[in-house]
Amino acid sequence: MTDEIPDRDVAFGFRSVREGEKQGLVNEVFSKVAERYDQMNDLMSAGLHRLWKDDFVTMLAPPKQATPFHVLDVAGGTGDIAFRVARAGGAGIHVTVADISPEMVNEGRKRAAAEGLLGRCDFTVGNAEALAFPDKSFDAYTIAFGIRNVTHIDRALKEAWRVLKPGGRFLCLEFSKVDVPFLDRLYEAYSFTAIPAVGKVVTGDGQPYRYLVESIRTFPDPETFKAMIEEAGFEQVSYRCLTGGVAAIHSGWRI
């Protein structure tokens, strides 16, 4: 008889939960905020996420030519990154959005239809830790504000490496560690007081926003996360901090 691996404790914000419970709890958070995802991101970043995402897609530099270029956007939710990539690139760009939340995927499909982008973006329910795509399928892998919510970040990074073609690029936009004196205290106060309070007014429930703030605090610092990306097999790994370290863009290549 094969011994079963015990279900260990993992972080869910500042709480410890059983390993097998975390994904369901995360799914519940995003099912509650799916219809107000843009407002959520505005609250979490004081509106700066729109500029960060533009910068993120500029770094990706999707080709303008008609040559096929397939991007996998994981935890892509309502299509914010996918739509930017599709519009920034040429006729050969196609973006597949994979998100574990059916509610988020449904919102993305509705938005894509409204914006005339269903032909260039498709949406599927999928787990970042076990992607349903063959090896070496994509030219680029993007994930924005999603990797901190997976149960096993190392598994998600290895899956990113697996599905990328040789020469493919990994790009991750995520909240990070503020490294500017005074700004760190100001952002801390804003995060733990204003965000849950306004979130409760906007959605009727401040708890999902409290979890999202806590998940930022428990995410690895940029150097630690850089080492994790390298451990997954990526090379030429780097990161660039944004707005004093409130967020960071992490880059790596499958060589």
Reported as a single tens digit per residue, the pLDDT across 149-168 is 888 999 999 999 999 999 99
For the chain, give every domain's residue range.
9-180+208-253
Specify the pTM. 0.85
What's the Cα-to-Cα distance from 59 to each of 28, 91, 93, rounded to whole Å? 32, 19, 16
Reduced to 3 states (helix: H, G, I; strand: E, B; else coil), residue 45 is: helix
Residue 116 φ/ψ, nearest 5 degrees: 70, 30
The model's pLDDT over 13-52, given as tens digits with 9 standing for 90+, comes to 555 556 666 666 666 666 666 677 677 677 767 788 999 9
The label of the residue with tokens 């397939």 reads: 70
Write down the architecture of domain 9-180+208-253 according to CATH: 3-Layer(aba) Sandwich (3.40)
Distance CA 87, CA 53 (A): 13
**What pLDDT shows up at residue 39?**
73
Reduced to 3 states (helix: H, G, I; strand: E, B; else coil), residue 124 is: strand
Q: What radius of gyration, in Å, describes the C-alpha atoms of the chain?
A: 18
The model's pLDDT over 164-218, given as tens digits with 9 standing for 90+, comes to 999 999 999 999 988 888 888 887 877 777 777 777 776 666 676 777 778 888 8
